[in-house]
Amino acid sequence: MSVQIIIDSTVDLKPELLKEVKVAPLSILFGSEQFIDGKTLTKQEFYQKLVTSDVLPTTSQATPFIFSELYKETIDEGNEAVVITLSSKLSGTFQSANIASMDYEGKVYVVDSLNAAIGAGVLAEYALRLSKAITHKASLAGLNLGGGSLVIIGNNRTEKTEVLMRRVGKFIEGLNGNFIASIDVGTTQRDLEFIRSETKYVAGLPTSMNGG
């Protein structure tokens, strides 16, 4: 089992990385003309029409059905999915992805990028790199596990508190064993102790604390 990254078509990824993800296309309308982003209208064609068309384009969010089909395909392949979408402040695509995920609880995790285009693409590329790197680390350690990384964005000195670490622990507990926390860059034993107070899915603590 591995993690499949799914994005919507507004997420700007390098061409060579697009082969590694599944894409939920949005619809683009130029007046009465409707196109499927990335399928019936390429980026180059979009910019050409932007210059020649008398009307400005509008977009229609990817539907829950489109996401559901991608989720089913991913699950049938024996994988789980992490979905990265255009910011929820700009589109209803994040909501569509969430609605579709309700039928795949514990198998699909939807992330609001809070970005668009290149910004969301950076996040997707980072997710791809992490999934590969940490899977390789687990393999070298002889562990029959996939790889994952939990990233908390914030100021390490002022925002990393016991309350925050406990929230992380509750989140990990909700993943039902699909993620096990351990010490890594920016994480201390004290952080793990706070996390351990909310979940049993922690490794690297002393056995006296029921650590693994």
Residue pair 130/147 in contact (Cβ under 8 Å)? The answer is yes
Q: State the pLDDT confidence band at 105, using cuts at 50, 70 and 90.
A: confident
Task: Count CA within 13 A, CB hemisphere, residue 60.
Answer: 12
The model's pTM: 0.72
| 124-134: average pLDDT | 82
Q: Give pLDDT tens digits for 92-104.
A: 999 999 999 999 9
